[in-house]
Amino acid sequence: MEAMIASEQDEDLRKAYTEMLDGCLQHPDQWDWYAVWMIEKTDGTHIGDLCFKGLRENGNAEIGYGILEAFQGQGYATEAVRAACRWAFLHPDVKALEAETDAGNTVSQRVLEKCGFRPNGSFGEEGPRFTLGRPTDAAEGTR
């Protein structure tokens, strides 16, 4: 993660990655919940990344994701978010997932809605917040 942070040109991503590393170091028992997951095509082409921002005591975890511009609009974000949600809900301590988007990022909001997230009426640092409750059958994943 340190090498990734050092090579990142985007200041916002560098800040986010640093927060993930700090979370890993502060909560070594929750490493998976702070790690940055690379999103790649089957041929190994890197197209984006995804992370959780820790697993809080109330059983909620926040997800964040991004797809490189050249690969946007092809369903990769939806596929990655669905897969990550399925993985998260395999953990019995997870009660709900949350996400936050820029207010004007309707594309990201649509990804969340396709994955079953719904606006929860609150706003965070980046904009509106969305929540996905635990499916009745964790094996079924998201809708």
Residue (of 108, 106, 100) closest to 131 by Cα position: 100
Alpha-carbon distance 26 to 3, whole Å?
Answer: 19
Which two three-digit tokens encode residue 19? Answer: 């927060």
Q: pTM (2 decimals)?
A: 0.85
Q: What is the CATH number of domain 2-140?
A: 3.40.630.30
Alpha-carbon distance 124 to 132, whole Å?
Answer: 16
Q: What is the mean pLDDT of the chain?
A: 90
- At 96-114, the pLDDT tens digits run 999 999 999 999 999 999 9
Alpha-carbon distance 13 to 44, whole Å?
Answer: 21
Provide the residue ranges of all domains of the chain, joining segments of one domain with +: 2-140
